[in-house]
Amino acid sequence: QVQLVESGGGSVQAGGSLRLSCAVSGHPYSRYCMGWFRQTPGNEREGVASIDSYGSTAYANSVKGRFTISRDNAKNTLYLQMNGLKPEDTAMYYCAATTKNVCWLPLSVRQIAYWGQGTQVTVSS
Protein backbone atom coordinates (compact mmCIF):
# COMPACT_ATOMS: atom_id res chain seq x y z
CA GLN A 1 0.00 0.00 0.00
CA VAL A 2 1.46 3.31 -1.11
CA GLN A 3 1.47 6.09 1.45
CA LEU A 4 2.63 9.67 1.06
CA VAL A 5 2.67 11.64 4.32
CA GLU A 6 3.41 15.35 4.21
CA SER A 7 4.63 17.48 7.09
CA GLY A 8 6.13 20.91 7.66
CA GLY A 9 3.25 23.17 6.75
CA GLY A 10 2.17 26.04 8.95
CA SER A 11 1.69 29.77 9.20
CA VAL A 12 4.44 32.24 8.40
CA GLN A 13 4.78 35.92 7.61
CA ALA A 14 5.61 37.13 4.14
CA GLY A 15 9.30 36.75 3.39
CA GLY A 16 9.61 33.74 5.67
CA SER A 17 10.56 30.16 4.92
CA LEU A 18 9.14 26.70 5.37
CA ARG A 19 10.37 23.23 4.42
CA LEU A 20 7.82 20.61 3.49
CA SER A 21 8.65 16.93 3.77
CA CYS A 22 6.94 13.91 2.23
CA ALA A 23 7.67 10.47 3.63
CA VAL A 24 7.00 7.74 1.08
CA SER A 25 6.29 4.10 1.82
CA GLY A 26 5.09 1.14 -0.24
CA HIS A 27 6.38 2.69 -3.45
CA PRO A 28 9.69 2.25 -5.34
CA TYR A 29 10.25 5.91 -4.64
CA SER A 30 13.79 6.33 -5.90
CA ARG A 31 12.92 5.15 -9.41
CA TYR A 32 10.00 7.41 -10.14
CA CYS A 33 9.15 11.03 -10.83
CA MET A 34 7.72 12.97 -7.90
CA GLY A 35 6.26 16.41 -7.40
CA TRP A 36 4.56 19.01 -5.25
CA PHE A 37 1.21 20.52 -6.15
CA ARG A 38 -0.97 23.10 -4.43
CA GLN A 39 -4.62 24.01 -4.40
CA THR A 40 -6.76 26.85 -3.07
CA PRO A 41 -10.52 26.64 -2.54
CA GLY A 42 -12.46 26.83 -5.79
CA ASN A 43 -9.37 26.43 -7.94
CA GLU A 44 -7.74 23.55 -9.76
CA ARG A 45 -4.72 21.79 -8.35
CA GLU A 46 -1.57 23.19 -9.91
CA GLY A 47 1.97 21.92 -10.18
CA VAL A 48 4.59 23.70 -8.12
CA ALA A 49 7.76 21.65 -8.57
CA SER A 50 8.76 18.30 -10.07
CA ILE A 51 11.79 16.04 -9.96
CA ASP A 52 12.63 12.91 -11.92
CA SER A 53 14.70 9.89 -10.93
CA TYR A 54 17.85 11.50 -12.33
CA GLY A 55 17.43 14.65 -10.27
CA SER A 56 16.24 16.92 -13.05
CA THR A 57 13.80 19.52 -11.78
CA ALA A 58 11.14 21.88 -13.08
CA TYR A 59 9.22 24.68 -11.40
CA ALA A 60 6.14 26.79 -11.92
CA ASN A 61 7.11 30.28 -13.05
CA SER A 62 5.53 31.76 -9.92
CA VAL A 63 7.98 29.96 -7.60
CA LYS A 64 11.20 29.88 -9.64
CA GLY A 65 14.13 31.20 -7.66
CA ARG A 66 12.25 30.86 -4.35
CA PHE A 67 11.36 27.16 -4.04
CA THR A 68 13.67 24.16 -4.30
CA ILE A 69 12.57 20.55 -4.68
CA SER A 70 14.90 17.76 -3.61
CA ARG A 71 14.82 14.09 -2.77
CA ASP A 72 16.70 11.87 -0.36
CA ASN A 73 16.45 8.37 -1.81
CA ALA A 74 18.08 6.79 1.24
CA LYS A 75 15.30 8.18 3.43
CA ASN A 76 12.49 7.80 0.87
CA THR A 77 11.68 11.45 1.46
CA LEU A 78 10.79 14.31 -0.86
CA TYR A 79 11.34 17.92 0.19
CA LEU A 80 10.19 21.36 -0.84
CA GLN A 81 12.22 24.26 0.53
CA MET A 82 10.17 27.44 0.28
CA ASN A 83 11.91 30.77 0.76
CA GLY A 84 10.66 34.30 0.24
CA LEU A 85 7.08 33.21 0.82
CA LYS A 86 4.30 35.47 -0.42
CA PRO A 87 0.62 35.64 0.58
CA GLU A 88 -0.26 34.20 -2.83
CA ASP A 89 1.63 31.03 -1.88
CA THR A 90 -1.11 30.29 0.66
CA ALA A 91 -2.63 26.91 -0.29
CA MET A 92 -2.91 23.26 0.60
CA TYR A 93 0.25 21.58 -0.62
CA TYR A 94 0.21 17.98 -1.83
CA CYS A 95 3.00 15.49 -2.38
CA ALA A 96 2.52 13.44 -5.55
CA ALA A 97 4.05 10.32 -7.03
CA THR A 98 4.01 8.84 -10.50
CA THR A 99 4.79 5.31 -11.62
CA LYS A 100 7.15 6.51 -14.35
CA ASN A 101 10.90 6.94 -14.23
CA VAL A 102 10.94 8.98 -17.41
CA CYS A 103 8.55 11.93 -17.34
CA TRP A 104 7.77 15.14 -19.08
CA LEU A 105 8.52 17.86 -16.54
CA PRO A 106 6.84 19.74 -15.04
CA LEU A 107 4.39 17.07 -14.00
CA SER A 108 0.70 17.56 -14.61
CA VAL A 109 -2.17 16.25 -12.52
CA ARG A 110 -2.99 13.53 -15.06
CA GLN A 111 0.51 12.01 -14.65
CA ILE A 112 0.01 11.42 -10.93
CA ALA A 113 -0.79 7.97 -9.55
CA TYR A 114 -0.66 8.70 -5.82
CA TRP A 115 -1.40 11.73 -3.64
CA GLY A 116 -0.65 12.66 -0.06
CA GLN A 117 -3.31 14.05 2.24
CA GLY A 118 -1.96 17.60 2.03
CA THR A 119 -0.42 20.11 4.40
CA GLN A 120 -1.66 23.69 4.79
CA VAL A 121 0.67 26.63 4.17
CA THR A 122 -0.59 30.06 5.18
CA VAL A 123 1.42 33.22 4.47
CA SER A 124 0.29 36.47 6.06
CA SER A 125 1.21 39.93 4.84
In the chain, which stretches have pLDDT less than 50? none
Give the chain's length. 125
pLDDT for position 1: 83
pLDDT for position 27: 74
Closest Cα to residue 50, out of 66, 67, 70, 34? 34
pLDDT for position 47: 97
pLDDT for position 31: 81
Are 56 and 78 spatial neighbours (Cβ–Cβ below 8 Å)?
no
User: What DSSP state is assigned to residue 111?
Assistant: G
Closest Cα to residue 96, out of 61, 55, 60, 45? 45
